Structure 1
Amino acid sequence: MKRIIKATLAILCVSVSVSIAQQNVSGIIVDKQTKEPIPGVNIVIKGEAKGTITDLMGAFQLQVPIDQEISISYLGYETLQMKATADFDQVELAQSSVELNQVVISASRDAQMRSETPVAISSLSAQQIEEAKATSTDQLLNKTPGVYMVDLGNEQHSMAIRQPLSYKSLFLYLEDGVPVRTTGVFNHNALIEMNMASFKNIEVIRGPASSLYGSEAIGGAVNFITLNPTSTLLAKASVQANNLGYKRGDLMFSDTYGKVGVVASTNYATRVDGYRDHSDYEKFALTLKATVELSEKALWSNSMTYVNYRSDAAGSLDSASFYGQEYSSFQTFTDRDVEALRYKSALDYYWDRGSKSSATFFYRSNSVKQNPSYRIKDDYSPWANPGGDENLAHSEVNDNSFNSYGLILQHKEVLNFWNSSMTTGASLDYSPSSYLANYISVHKTDAGVYDGFTPSDSVLTNYETDLINYAGYAQLELNPVAKLHVTAAVRFDRFTYVYDNHLPSNAYSGAPDETNHFNAFTPKVGLNYSISQRSGMYANFSQGFVPPQVSELYRGVKVPTLDPAVFTNYEVGGWFALLNNKASIDVAVYQLNGKDEIINVQQPSGDYANENAGETVHRGVEYGFNYKPISDLYIRLSGTNAQHEFKDYVESGVDFSNNEMATAPSWIANGEITYRPSFVRGLRVGIEWQHMDEYYTDAANTSTYEGFDIFHVRIGYEFKGFETWLNIMNVGDKIYATNVTKSAWGTNYQPGDPRTFNVGLAYKFQK
C-alpha cells in the first residue's frame, strides 16, 4: 500500500512539474507588408516533432515548454525563429524577395503550391506593388516575365502576352478570380476599370487557361487579388503628383471586429494640362470588402468595386510630330467615359482532410461611352473618294453597356489514393448588353485638325444582345509516385447570343434578329516533377478558345457564320533555386498555334466579310531571375524572346502568310536593382530598365520601328509611419513610342511620356 501511495505521489509530482514547465502560446501570424492574417502557417517547437498550423484567420494555439524556441514558416516567406512567450499576440512574416511564386491561387482557383502547378505563372508581391508607387498598371505588369502592357496614356492600354502588341480579345482580366467583363464585349482598355489602391498582389498565368476560366484566356489570364481585412487596425493615406499635371490621393482603412473584418480602399486621380494637348483625365475608384468567420470551417466574403473614369482621347501622332516632339492633338473633342460597378459574394466551406466547397455570386454593371478618335474617317480619299470634301469627316458617338448576373460553384475533394484531389465546378453568366451609336459630322481644318463636330439624330447602330454562357469543368490532380504530380483538366462551354436589332435592314447595322450558339471543349494535361522543395520542372498541353465578339457578328447588314478561334499550346519549363537559395530562376519554353482566327476576308464580289480564316504560330522562351547576393541588395531580370508569324493569313485580299506579325518585337526585357542600406534603415534606392527590340509596324513587313531602352529611378524613405518617395521615370528623357503601327494613311506613333518626376508622401497608422 505504501508503495502504491509513493508511486502515485511521484506521478503527481512529475505531472505538476511538466504542467508548470509548459505554457499555452497563442497568437496571430500576419503578412508584414499587408498585415493580413495568413492561414496555414506552420508553427513547430524547435527540436521536437510537435506543432500546429494557423486557422482561417491566421490564429493558432500551442503548448510550448518555457524558454523554448519555435519556428514559424510558410512557403514564399522568410522563416522566423523566436522564443515563445505567453503574450505572443501578433507576429509578422516577411515575404521572400527570391521565392516569389511558392504559393499561387489562380492556377486552380484555390491556394496551391507552385510545385503542383504545370503552368507558367508568376506573381507580383505586395511589397513590389507598394514600392513601385505606380501611376498606371503597366508600371507593375511590365516587371513580370513574358508580359508587356502597352501604355496608351491615362491608364488606357493594350497587352502583349505570348502575342504581339495586341488590341484583340486574347487576354482575360480577373478580379479575385471573377472576370472583369463578360465574354463577347472585350475591351482592350478593361484595366482602367480596376482600383489600383485595392491591389494586394497580381498573378499572371501565361498561355491558355480556358480549361479553368473559359474564353479569352489565350495569351494569358491576369488575376488582380485585392486586399483582405487586417487582424488589427490599419489606416493609410497618401498623396502624390508629377510634373506632367498628374495628381492622386489614396485612402485605406482596415480592421477586424470579433468575427467580422472590413477593408476599404479608394483613390482619386486627375491629370490637367499635361505635355500633350487634349490629354486631361479624371478617375475615382472605391473598393469595399467584408469577411465574416461564420465558424471554424466557414468564411463569407462580400466585396464591391466602383470606378468612374473620364478621359480625353488625344489619338496618335504622325512621324513628323513624334520625332519633332510636337505633342499637339489632331482631335479636340474625342473622349471616353466609363462607369463600372462589380459586386461579389463568396461563401467558402472547408471540410475535413482539406476538401473545400465554394459558391460565388457576382453582379456587374458597365457602361463605356465614347466619341472615339479611331472612328473618324475622312470624306476625301485619294483612292476611294477623290471627289470628297477635304474639310469633312465622319464619325460617331456611342454607348456600349451591359449588366451581368453570374454564379460559380466549385468543390475540391481530397481522394484516398495517390495523394490526389478532384476539383469540379460549374458557372453561369447571363449578361444583357446594348450598343447605341449616332452619326456625327466632323469638321477638319486645312491644317488637318479635327476641331469640332455636329451631332445628329441619325442612328447608325441600335441593338441589344443577351449573352448567356454556362459551363462545367473538372480538374484531377494525382501523385502516382514521389515527386511526380499529374494534372488533367477539361471544360465545356456553351454560349448563346440572342441578338435584337432595333433598326431596319437598310441601316448601317441592319443585320436581322438572330440567335447564335457556340460550343467549346478545352482540355489541359500537365506534369510536375519536384527536384527539391525549391526546384522543379513541368510540361503541359492546353487549349484555349475565343468566341466571336458581338461587334464581329452584328456590326453590318448580315450575320456571318463564325466559329470560336482555337489556340493550342505546348510548353515545358522549370523553376530552380541557385547559389544556396540566394537566387532563383523561372523558365518557360512554348509554342502556341492559333487556328480559325477571325479576320476580314475579301469576297468574290469585292466586298469584305469576317471569316474564320487565319492561322498563326507563336514560339518563345520566357524567364525570370531573382538574386539577393547580400541582405541589402536585390537584383531582378525578366524577359521574353519570341517569334510571332502568320502561317496562313489572307486579310482584306492581301496574303500575309509566312510573314512576321506586326508589332511583334523579338525581345522584351525588364530589369531592376534595389538597394536597401542597412546603415540607413527605411531607405531604398532602385533603378529599372525597360527594353523593347525592333519590330515590323505592318503585316506586309515593309517598315520597322527601332524599339527603345528607357530607365527609371525610384527612391523611397520610411520613418515612424511616414513614407516619402521620388520616382524619376524615363530618367534619360528618351523620345520613344509605346506602340507604332502603319496603315494606308501613314505611320502612327503612340508617344511614351518624357522625363517625369513623381513625388509623394504617405502616412500609415497601425495598432
Structure 2
Amino acid sequence: MHYVIEVAHCSMHFCGGKGCSNFSQNRMIMKSVIKYLITLCCVLFIQSLYAQSGPCKGKVIDGITKEPIAHASIQINNAKQGTYTNNKGEFEWPFNGTQQELLVSFIGYQPLTVLVNQQQSSLVIELQSSNNTMQEVVISANRDVARRSQAPVAINTLTAKTIQDTRPITADQVLNKVSGVYMVNLGNEQHSMSIRQPMTTKSLFLYLEDGIPIRTTGLFNHNALLEMNMAAVRNIEVIKGPSSSLYGSEAIGGVVNFITLAPTALPSLKLSVQGNDIGYKRADVQTGFTSGKWGVSVNGYYADKRNSYIEYSDFHKEIVSARIDYRFSEKTMLTNSITWMDYYSDMPGGIDSTRFANRSFSNPQTFTYRKVRSLRYRSTLNHVWNDRSKSSVSLLYRDNSIGQNPAYAVKDDYRRQGNGWVGKKDLAHGEINDASFNSYVLIAQHKQQFGWKDAAIIGGISADISPSTYRADYIRIKKDSVSGKYLGYESKDSVLTHYRSNINNYAAFLNMELSPVEKLRIVASLRYDLFQYKFDNYLKPSAFSGSPDTTNHFSAVSPKIGFTYNFSRSIGVYANYSQGFVPPQVTEMYKGVKVPNLDPSVFYNYEAGGWISLLKGKLSADLSIYYLDGTNEVVSVKLDDGSTENRNAGKTLHKGIEMGINANPVKDISFRFSGAYSRHEFTSFNEKGVKYDGNEMNGAPNWIYNTEVWYRPSYVKGLRVGVEWQHLGSYWLDPVNTVKYPGFNVVHLRAGYLWKGYEVWVNAINLGDSYYAYTASKSSFGYSYNPAEPRNINVGLSCDFGQFFKK
C-alpha cells in the first residue's frame, strides 16, 4: 500500500525593503507555519491509518507439544480471504478495521476462532487435538504425510493428547489402547508383543523411530523398545499387518512408528517428577526453541526402581535425545538428531507355578542382569523442489551393545533322565554373553505428484551395513538345594560361542497412488531386498559353537496393493493384499547349527475394513478383518542322531476382526472401545518330532479389548478423570494344547489437573489389586509366570516454564 502526499513548497523569508511592513511579514510567516502544520497533521493522520491497517502476525502451534503447525489455514470469518502458515507455523495478514475474527484450522485439530484487534502486534494460537479420528493425518502408511481416509491399511494413531492424559511409565500403557495390540510388560521396560500374532519374542514386529528401524535386520531383539526415549515422543502410529513393501523385513504382525518431538515454536522448558509406592522414581526434562534458521530440542529422563514387589528386580535407565534443525530456506532443511541410552536391569525371570500359586515374589535369581548401551545418530536433508516434488536423504549410525548374565540360560545340573534323576542338586550352569553391532545406513527417498488423476509416486533406495559380534562364556553356578536360590557363580576359562557376522541389506522401494474416479484411491507398493550374511566363527565349528565360516545370500520381493473408497467425508472402506517376509536371524542361521541353509519366512495377508463418523464427529468407528497365512517359518527339527536342525518347515494361520469406537455423547465425557477377536493356528508344524498341526498357537488369546471413559468437567477447566478396563482372554500355555491360562481383567484409574503451566496427576494402576500374570507359559522345564504389578499409586508433578516466555 502506497500513499502519495503533495506538499506545497513554502518559502519563509523576511524582506526589509520598501512596501514590506512588519505586519505583512508576520502574516506571511503565520500562513507558512499554518500550511506546514496542516501538512504535518495530514501526514501523521495518514500514517496512523496505515498503522491501524498494518499486518496481523502470529504463530500457530500444537497446544500440547508447542511445535509449529505448518500449512494451517487462517481464514477471516464470513469472508473469502485467508492465508496459510509457513513451515515455521508463522503467518502474516493485512489487518483492516478495529477487530476481526480469524478461523484457524488444520486436519486432526479442533478449529479455533480468534478475535484480533489492532493492539495485538503478535499472536500465539494453540490448537488442540480433535476427538474425531476419521480425518487424521498419518505418516507411516506410505512413508509420507497422508490423510487416514486415503490409506488402505489398518492404522491407529496415539496422539500427544492421549500420551499426556495417560502419563505412561512404560510404552505398553498407551500401546495397549490400540485394538488388537497387547504389548507384554516383562518388567523394567522389557517386553514382548502381540499384534496379529501370539504373544511372542520372535522377529515379527518392526519398531521405527521417525520411520527408520531402531535396530538392524537379522539382529531382532524383542526388548527393542526399551531403547526408546518416551520423553521425546510426540505421537505413535501403529500399522497392523504386513508392511514389508515399504519398510522391509520383520514388518509382519505390525509396525510401530514413534514420531519424535521437533523444536518448539516458542522457548519451552518442561520439568517433571513422578514416583509410585512400589519403588519406581523418574525425572523428565523437555526443552526446545526456534531462533531464526535454527531449531533446538533436548529431551530425556532418568528412571530408577529399588526394592520392588519382586526380589532382585531393580533397574535404572538414563536416556537423552538432542535434535538440531537448520533451515537453509523455506524449501530446504537439515535435521540432526542423536539419542544416547545407558540401561541396567536385574533379570528376575519368571516364577514357577508353586510361587505363583502361593503369591510368593521371592526370586531364585540373585545375580542375573541385562545391560544395554545404545547410540543412534541421524542426519536428514529435506528439500522441496516445488509444490509437487520433494526429496529427502538420511544417514544413520547405530552403536549398540547388550551384555547379559541371563536368567533364561540358567539350567540345573540335577535333571530327569529316562526314568530317574542325574546330576548335582547344588550345581547349575549358565553363561555371560555380549552382543554388539554397529550400523551405517543410507536412505534416499523422492516424492513426485502429478496433475493426472491426482497421481503420486514415492520411490527410494536404502543400504544398511551392520557388522556385529557375539560372545558367550560359561559360568558355574552354586545353588542352595533347600531354598532353590542361585547364590553365586564363578567364571571358567570356557568360551561357549564367539563369532562375527556382517549383515548387508540393500533395498529399493516404490509406492504409487492415483484416483481413477472420484472417491476411489488405488495404492500399490513394491520393495526388493537383497541380503548378504557373512559369518566368521572364531571357535572350532560344532553343534553348539556354530557353523563353519560361510557367506549366505538371499533376496525378497514384497508387493502390496489396495484401495480406499470414500462414500463421503465420514464413510469409507478399504481392502488390500500384501506380502511380508522375515529373514533368518543370525542366531537361527549360525548358532548351534552345523549347516546354515534357511530362507526368509513369507506371509500372505488379505484384509478389508472401513470407517464411519456420525453426529458431527461425536461418534466414529473403524473395523478391519484380516486373514494372514505364514509359510517357510523356522522350526527346530529333530534328526535321527538326536541332534536338531533349523528348517523352513512351519506353516501358521492367523485371522481375526478388530474394531475401534470413539464417542463424545455429551460435552464433558468421551468414550473409547478397542477390541479384537483372533484365532492363531498351527497349519503344519513339526518341531523336534512333535506335531502341532491343527492346534491353536500357545500364548494366543482369542479376545483382547480395552475400554476407557474420560470425564473433563467444563466447570473445572483443566481437570480430567479417566477409567480404563483391560481384558485379555484365556490362552493355551503350550503348543500341545494341554493347559490354559484363564486370562485377566484389570482396571486403572487416572486423574490429572492442569493449571496454566503446572500439572499434577495421580494414576492408580491395577485399582482392584487383581492378581494375574502379564504372560504365562509351559515347557519341558515346567511352568513360568510373569506376575503383574499389584495395585500401585503413581503421583507426578510437572511445570512448563515456557509459559513465562509467551508474549
TM-score range, shorter chain: over 0.9
Alignment of 1:253-264 (within 5 A): 253-264=287-298
Structure 1 contact 460–507 (Cα < 8 Å) conserved = no
Query: Match for 2:533 among 484, 488, 497?
Result: 497
Paired with 2:83 and 2:779, the residues of 1 have a C-alpha distance of 64
Shift of residue 425, structure 1, vs aligned partner: 0.4
Q: Secondary structure at the match of 1:523?
A: strand
Aligned residue in 1 for 2:431: 396
CA distance in 2, matches of 1:639, 1:530: 24
Q: Distance between the aligned counterparts of 2:304 and 2:732, measured in 1?
A: 35
Deviates more, 1:686-695 or 1:90-99: 90-99
Q: 1:324-343 counterparts in 2 under 5 A? A: 324-343=358-377
Instruction: Map 1:291-370; keep pairs closer than 5 Å.
Output: 291-370=325-404
2:83 corresponding residue in structure 1:
52
**Cα deviation per residue 1:284-306 (whole Å; 9 max; x = unaligned)?**
01010111111011111111111
Measured after TM superposition, the shift of residue 83 of structure 1 is: 3.1
1:71 aligns with 2:135: no
Please give the secondary structure, in 1, of the residue aligned with 2:174.
helix
Q: Deviations over 1:368-416 (max 9, x none)?
A: 0000011112222213683222222211100000000001000000123
Match of 1:654 in 2: 690
- Aligned partner of residue 382 in structure 1, secondary structure: strand
SS of the aligned residue for 1:418 comes to helix
Give 1:443-482 correspondences, 5 Å limit: 443-447=478-482, 448-482=484-518
Evaluate the alpha carbon distance shift between residue 231 and residue 220 of structure 1 in structure 2; reply closer, same or farther with a 3 A threshold.
same
2:594 to 542, 546, 558: 558
1:570-621 deviations in Å (ceiling 9; x for gaps) = 1111121022320111111111110000011122333211000111111111
- Structure 1 window deviating more from structure 2 (615-624 vs 43-52): it is 43-52
Contact 2:134 2:149 in 1 (8 A): no
Hey, what does 2:561 align to over in structure 1? 525
Q: Is 2:233 the partner of 1:199? A: yes
2:114 paired residue number: 82
- 2:301 counterpart residue number: 267
> Matches of 1:53 and 1:481 in 2, distance apart?
29
Which residue of structure 2 aligns with residue 542 of structure 1? Answer: 578
Distance in 2 between residues matched to 1:400 and 1:588, nearest whole Å: 39
Residue 190 (1) aligns with residue 217 (2): no
**In 2: Cα distance, 1:691 partner to 1:24 partner:** 56
Q: CA deviation at 1:64?
A: 5.3
2: CA distance, partners of 1:401 / 1:194: 18
Secondary structure, counterpart of 1:109 in structure 2: coil
Match of 2:204 in 1: 170
Q: Map of 1:677-716 to 2, 5 A cutoff? A: 677-716=713-752
Structure 1 unaligned regions, length at least 5: 1-14
Distance (whole Å) between structure 2 residues aligned to residue 235 and residue 16 of structure 1: 40
One-letter amino acid of the counterpart of residue 113, structure 1:
R
In structure 2, how many angstroms separate the alpha carbons of the residues matched to 1:16 and 1:740? Answer: 78
Distance (whole Å) between structure 2 residues aligned to residue 511 and residue 211 of structure 1: 32
How has the CA–CA distance of structure 1 residues 149 and 390 changed in structure 2, closer, same or farther, with 3 Å as cutoff? same
Offset, 1:631: 2.3
TM-superposed CA distance for 1:24, in Å, is 2.6
- Is 1:383 paired with 2:417? yes
Separation (CA, whole Å) in 2 of partners of 1:386 and 1:564: 40
- Report deviation, 1:89: 2.2
2:176 and 2:593 mapped to 1: Cα distance? 41
Distance (whole Å) between structure 1 residues aligned to residue 300 and residue 49 of structure 2: 53
The aligned counterpart of 1:512 is 548
Aligned length: 753
Does residue 642 of structure 2 align to residue 606 of structure 1? yes
What SS class does the counterpart of residue 515 from structure 2 fall into? strand
User: Does the Cα contact within 8 Å between 1:98 and 1:628 map onto a contact in 2?
Assistant: no
Residue matched to 1:422:
457
Report the alpha carbon displacement of residue 40 of structure 1 after superposing the two structures with TM.
1.8
Other-structure match for 2:40: none
Structure 1 residue aligned with 2:613, among 567, 572, 577? 577
Q: Is the 8 A contact 2:654 2:678 kept in 1?
A: yes
User: Higher mean Cα deviation, 713-722 or 192-201?
Assistant: 713-722
Task: Give 1:8's aligned residue.
Answer: none
**Alignment partners' CA distance in 2, 1:102 and 1:260:** 29
* Greater Cα offset, 559-568 or 357-366: 559-568
Query: Partner of 1:30 in structure 2?
Result: 61
Once residues 54 and 625 of structure 2 are traced to their aligned partners in structure 1, the CA distance between those partners, rounded to angstroms, is 53
User: CA–CA distance in 1 between the matches of 2:135 and 2:750?
Assistant: 24
Contact (CA 8 Å) 1:442, 1:453: kept in 2 or not? yes
Is the Cα–Cα contact under 8 Å of residues 512 and 557 in structure 1 kept in the other structure? no
Q: CA deviation at 1:758?
A: 0.7
Q: Is the 8 A contact 1:527 1:540 kept in 2?
A: yes
Change (3 A) 1:18 1:113: farther
Q: Secondary structure at the match of 1:127?
A: helix
More divergent stretch after superposition (452-461 vs 275-284): 452-461
Please state how far the C-alpha of 1:125 moved relative to its aligned partner.
0.6
1:132 and 2:166 aligned: yes
Secondary structure at the counterpart of residue 461 of structure 2: strand
- Which of these two proteins has the greater Rg computed from alpha carbons? 2
| 1:39 alignment partner, one of 70, 93, 96 | 70
Give CA deviations for 1:43-76 in whole Å, capped at 9, x if unaligned. Answer: 2233333322222111222345433433221111
Q: Secondary structure at the match of 2:245?
A: helix
TM-score normalised to structure 1 length: 0.96
Instruction: Evaluate the alpha carbon distance shift between residue 396 and residue 528 of structure 1 in structure 2; reply closer, same or farther with a 3 A threshold.
Output: same
- What residue in structure 2 maps to residue 143 of structure 1? 177
With the length of structure 2 as denominator, give the TM-score of the two structures: 0.91
- 1:755 counterpart = 2:791: yes
How far off its partner does 1:682 sit? 1.6
Alpha-carbon separation, structure 1, partners of 2:761 and 2:541? 59
In structure 2, the residue corresponding to 1:197 is in which secondary structure?
A: helix
Q: 2:655 aligns with which of 613, 616, 619?
A: 619
Give the 3-state SS of the residue equivalent to 2:598 in structure 1.
Answer: coil
CA shift in 2, pair 1:273/1:383, >3 Å:
same
Aligned AA (2:204): L
What is the rounded CA distance, in whole Å, between the counterparts of 1:101 and 1:765 in structure 2? 33
172-181 or 506-515: bigger deviation: 506-515
Q: Could you tell which deviates more after superposition, 146-155 or 385-394?
A: 385-394
Match of 1:441 in 2: 476
2:188 aligned with 1:154: yes
For 1:151 and 1:626, the matched residues in 2 are separated by: 26
Paired AA for residue 257 in structure 2: N
Task: Give the Cα–Cα distance (whole angstroms) in 2 for the partners of residues 661 and 180 of structure 1.
Answer: 28
**Any idea what the Cα deviations from partners look like across 1:721-745, whole Å, max 9, x if unmatched?**
2211111100111000010101122
Letter in 2 for 1:134: P
Counterpart contact for 2:547–2:596, Cα < 8 Å: no
Q: Deviations over 1:328-386 (max 9, x none)?
A: 11111110000010011111111212321000110000000000011112222213683
Please say which of residues 129-138 and 398-407 is displaced more in the overlay: 129-138
1:97 Cα deviation after fit: 2.1
**Counterparts of 2:443 and 2:459, CA distance in 1:** 11
| Deviation, structure 1 residue 507 | 7.5
Gap regions ≥5 residues in structure 2: 1-45
Give 2:315's aligned residue.
281
CA contact (8 A) 1:307 1:340 kept: yes
Contact 1:38 1:58 in 2 (8 A): yes
Contact 1:634 1:673 in 2 (8 A): yes
Q: What SS is found at the alignment partner of 1:351?
A: strand
Question: Aligned AA for 1:413?
Answer: Q
